[in-house]
Amino acid sequence: MGNRLSKIYTRTGDDGTTGLGNGKRVRKDDLRVEAYGTVDELNSALGIVQAYSLSAAPSELLAEIQQKLFDLGGELCIPETVVLTANDVEQLELALDRINAALPPLKDFILPGGNPAAAACHMARTICRRAERRVISLAEQANVNSHSVRYLNRLSDLLFVLARSLNVTSGDAEVLWTGGKLSDTLSPTRDGS
């Protein structure tokens, strides 16, 4: 394990900079800091989902994902570091397929909502999409592990089906989009990614 923090504040960031894992100081709004900060926000959002009384399977899955997100944050904080692998993406795909197979077919657009755990899962999904965008922006100027981008992309899909599953297993109805001016031109898909 690395160094333990004995003092939480250091005052070194008072000038608007922060230290990366390799010791380099950058502005707190640097793309790299923005990327790993958004991954941290996503991890916190998953902590909120976990705070609801989930059954063992989704709770264990989310606990594993939180560990991987902490790894991803470290990977982004230390330039040229690779932690996530193709296997990590494949594990998400297996979980996604397993959860989705137990759900009724998707026939309508779903609005974020339902029971509190599902609504929190939808919120985590949108934060995951933002984290993915931040990592893609970072990849325009620095080397970024391609598996990390794939992981976030797959994770947002998994969080969508998990939110559906949390509603279905609790007996809560999904909130369906009732249509509007675009209803005749769109087919049921979540967000086009």
Distance (Å, whole) CA 152 – CA 22: 24
Q: Quote the CATH superfamily of domain 25-173.
A: Cobalamin adenosyltransferase-like (1.20.1200.10)
Note the pLDDT of residue 171. 84
Taking the mean position of all CA atoms in its chain, how far away is CA 132? 8
Report strand pairing: 110-111 vs 17-19.
unpaired
What are the structure tokens assigned to 97, written together?
């397929």
Counting every residue written for the chain, the total comes to 193
Note the pLDDT of residue 53. 79
Taking the mean position of all CA atoms in its chain, how far away is CA 22? 25
Note the pLDDT of residue 185. 61
- 150 three-state secondary structure: helix
Distance (Å, whole) CA 161 – CA 156: 9
Note the pLDDT of residue 24. 82
pTM, two decimals, is 0.86
Q: How far does the chain reach from its first CA to its final CA, in angstroms?
A: 37
Of 92, 73, 91, nearest in space to 83 by CA: 73
Note the pLDDT of residue 192. 52
Any idea where the domains of the chain sit in the sequence?
A: 25-173
Measured from the Cβ of residue 93, the count of other Cβ atoms closer than 10 Å reads 13
Note the pLDDT of residue 77. 93
Note the pLDDT of residue 8. 62
For every one of its 193 residues, what pLDDT tens digit does the chain have, with 9 covering 90 and above? 456 666 666 665 566 766 667 778 866 678 999 999 999 999 999 999 999 978 999 999 999 999 999 999 999 999 999 999 999 999 999 999 999 999 999 888 889 999 999 999 999 999 999 999 999 999 999 999 999 999 999 999 999 999 999 999 988 888 888 876 665 566 555 455 5
Of 131, 138, 143, nearest in space to 32 by CA: 138
